[in-house]
Structures are given as structure tokens and as C-alpha cells.
Amino acid sequence: MTFLHQAIEKLSEGGKKGTNKKVPRLKRSRSTVSLIKAAAGKVGATKKEAVQLSSIKVKGEQLAEVQIKDIQEKSTSEGSNSHIKELSKDVSFCESLPSSLDTAASQESKASMDDSALYITASEGSPLHAKDIAPPVQKEEEEEDTKKDLPEGVEDFDLEMKEDPTAVADYAHNIFKYYQEREKKFVIVKYIDKQPDVMRSMRAILVDWMVEVQESFELNHETLYLGVKILDLYLTRIVIKRDSLQLVGSTALFIACKFDERTPPYVDDFLYICDDAYNRKELLAMEIKILKKIDYDLGVPLSYRFLRRYARCAKVGMEDLTFTRYILEMSLMDYDLIDSSDSALAAAALMLSRCIKGQPSWTPTLEYYSGYKVEDIYHLTQTLHSMMCQPPKEHLNTIRNKYSHKVFYEVAKIPIPEKLPL
């Protein structure tokens, strides 16, 4: 029986305190093997690429020669001669490609020459931006878009990021509008009354354990938030027994890992953290059940992603953002908040952290990019404040301990005032 089972059993028997036993900190023993395999794969890939480039070189030379002869036979105009020059350039480009017969030393010298050439070009010439690549026809449309009317006091964050192709600045505002619309598809209702074997405190213990697993496996925060969301979506639709609660939680996190992580943990890893309370067949069967009940739709809008957007637009500092994330992560354990909108929850957490820090609670920029006014999230902010004022519980201390570390600026040690200046 796992410590989580023991804690749940104590709660069901009327126990007041849970156990202090922690999930074992796991080290990913397969990391070394993975690195060796990756290195071996790169060596093999390099050889294949060299052979492919060599064949491309030969084919390119043959094609160019045929085209030059054809043009010489059919045309004698100046325009055709210039075209011949262009094709000869293509041949010279093919000759510059690395051959599988080149030595390692020659390839290294070529690489160093290329690097120096790039350096000289970058220093002497003007840098290349996304706006330089765009065709002239699109420039007029772009100028019209940038002249959009913004409320007074609102900074155009997307315009500032327009030259960064990875920021998709032209679509970012509409993307998050779309996320807010998608929230309506993932509505979670209060389900404890319909779950005779599950209590609010049991869910809190399970989420606290999921945070511990996230830290042990070094998972992304989005993975944790998605795992909790999958858990609640499933419990909204299916009645379960007490002894399968941890199975549902671990499987929900397992699914989230597959969706969000580059290298998700193995099935055996999840069986191990459950202290082998379940077997492989049970976990994979639960995975199928959960995916069917949530219609295989894992593109859930998450409060964590909304918060990242708000913080970037308002240019929130890293320490203040970490404090807001601490508040938001604490809300994962609060059953009373499971039916709250994720976009509103992120906005309320940010407003609460700004109030505690003595900053202006809400700005025109935050109102514009979040779509929420102060009155829209006032009640939710007060609910979060009441949650943060609750005395810490010994068996639910994973998040508090996590954010008490120097890596997270020790934001969990920031005192929470009894009243907010709202």
C-alpha cells in the first residue's frame, strides 16, 4: 500500500492528519543510455548526410551541364547568356557542398571559414529581420494593421515583438481570444457530491502528490496543470472507487507527459512511483478509458499559459512572476476553484500578487490583453487571498516547500496580509 493510499485511508477513517512520508526522489537512470544512443544516432546520421550531399553534388553538376548545353543550342540572346551565368553559379554552389570523401580536417577548416564569413557579414552589413523578407505588397497591409487603435495607456506588445518570427505577433492576440473561446468546451463542474468514495481532502492529497512527481521527474509546469485538468475532467464524468484514485491521477499525468514532454517518462517509471500498487495492464487500460471520456482532446487552455501571456505583455519581472505562479499552483489543490475559468484564474492570481507586492493592482495594458476588468475578477481574487491566508498543513506542503527554495526566489516566505488594498 502506497503512502498516498495510507493517507486516503486515514482520511476516510476520520483521521485528522496525513502522513509526512514523501515520494522517493527519482533519478532518471536511463539518461546516460539515452545520451549514448543519441550520440550513436548522430554519427550514423552524419555519414548518411555526407553520402546524400555527395550524390546531390553529382546530380546538380549533371543537370546544370544539360541545361547549359540546351540553352546554348536554342538561344544566342544576351538574356540567355546571363541565364547561363546563373546556372554556372548553381554548379559552383554544388561544388561547395561537403563530400563524403572530405577529411575531417578539411571539413573543420571549411566550417571555420564559414563562421568567419558569417561574422564579417553580420558586422559589416545590416542585420536581417522578418520585415526585410516580406514582399513589398504585404507592407501596406502590415502598416495598416500596426495603426490599430489601442486604449489610452496601453502599450502595443505585439508590435514590439513583430520582428521576432517565433513570437507570431500578427496572430498572438487572436490566438488567446481563441483559447478563451475554447474554455467553454472544457467546463468542469463540482463532482464530489457525485463521488461517494472521494472527498475534497483526498483530491488535495492526490494533487500534492502529483506536484511531487512533477518535481521528481523534472516535468514542465504545463504538464502538471494539464494532468490536474485531465483528472478533474474524468472525475466530472465517471464515478470511481477510492482505491483507483491514485491510478487515475498517475495516468492523467502520464497522458499529459506524452502530450507536453519531449522525453516522457516510461510506464515503468509511473508504476514505480505508485509503489507497484498497479500493473502495466491496469495503467494502459485506464489511459484508454480517460482518453475516450475526454474525447481525445488534450488541447485544454491552461491558466499557466494565460499567465505567461499576461506577464509578457505587462513586462512583469521574474521574481513577481514566480510569486504569481506560486499562488496559481496553490490553487490546483483547492477544490472550490475547479470550476473557475483558467484565463480569469490567471488574471486574478496576477492581480493578487501585485496587490501583495504593493504595485498597482490592474493596469490598462493588463485589462486590454486579458479582457478582464477589476470588477470581473474581484471576487475570484478575494477567494485566492482567503486560500493563501490558510495555515499550512503538514501533509500538503510540497508546493510551499518547492517555492521556498532559492531557485524560486523563496517567494513562499513572502508574508500574506490579512486585508487587501482593493
Q: Report d(CA 374, CA 352) in Å as an integer.
A: 11
Place of cell 516535468: 219
- For Cα atoms 343, 195, 328, give the angle at the middle one, nearest 5 degrees: 25
For 197-243, how does the pLDDT look when each residue is reduced to its tens digit (9 = 90+)? 999 999 999 999 999 999 999 999 999 999 999 999 999 999 999 99
Taking only the tens place, the pLDDT of each residue in 72-114 is: 555 555 454 554 444 444 444 444 444 444 444 444 444 444 4
Whole-angstrom Cα distance, residue 319 to residue 83?
59
- Residue-wise pLDDT for 366-392, tens only, equals 999 999 999 999 999 999 999 999 999
Cα-flanking dihedrals φ and ψ of residue 100, to 5°?
A: -65, -15
Determine the pLDDT at residue 43: 43
CB atoms within 10 A of CB 55: 12
Q: What is the pLDDT of residues 394-411, one digit of tens each?
A: 999 999 999 999 999 999
H-type alpha helices, 261-341: 267-273, 280-293, 303-314, 318-330
Mean pLDDT for 38-51 is: 47
Residue 169's Cβ-side half-sphere holds a number of Cα atoms within 13 Å equal to: 17
d(CA 178, CA 164): 22
**Which pLDDT tens digit goes with each residue over 251-285?**
999 999 999 999 999 999 999 999 999 999 999 99
Domain ranges of the chain: 36-101, 186-293, 303-413
Phi, psi of 393 (to 5 degrees): -110, 140
Q: Are 273 and 216 in contact (CB under 8 A)?
A: yes
**H or E element at residue 66:** helix 31-74
DSSP annotation of 404 reads T
* Ramachandran bin of 131, using left for φ above 0, alpha for ψ from -120 to 50, beta for the remaining angles: alpha
186-293 and 303-413 share one fold: yes
The pLDDT tens digits for 183-210 are 999 999 999 999 999 999 999 999 999 9
Question: Rg for the chain (alpha carbons), in Å?
Answer: 29
186-293 topology per CATH = Cyclin A; domain 1 (1.10.472)
User: Average of pLDDT values for 288-317?
Assistant: 97
pLDDT tens readout for residues 126-173: 444 544 545 555 544 554 454 457 888 898 888 888 888 888 888 999
What are the C-alpha distances in Å from 212 to residues 4, 21, 152, 215, 303? Answer: 12, 12, 44, 5, 20
Give the DSSP per-residue string, 113-153.
HHHHHHHHHHHHSPPP-HHHHS-HHHHHHHHHHHT----TT
Cα angle: 276, vertex 278, 279; to 5 degrees: 90
Cβ atoms of residues 303 and 372 within 8 Å: no
Q: How far apart are CA 91 and CA 63, in angstroms?
A: 9
CATH fit for domain 303-413, picks 3.40.50.1000, 1.10.645.10, 3.40.50.300, 1.10.472.10: 1.10.472.10
What is the C-alpha to C-alpha distance for residues 142 and 146, in angstroms, rounded to an integer?
Answer: 6
Cβ count near 328 (within 10 Å) = 25
pLDDT score for 68: 57
Crossing angle for the helix pair 374-388 and 342-356, to the nearest 10 degrees: 70
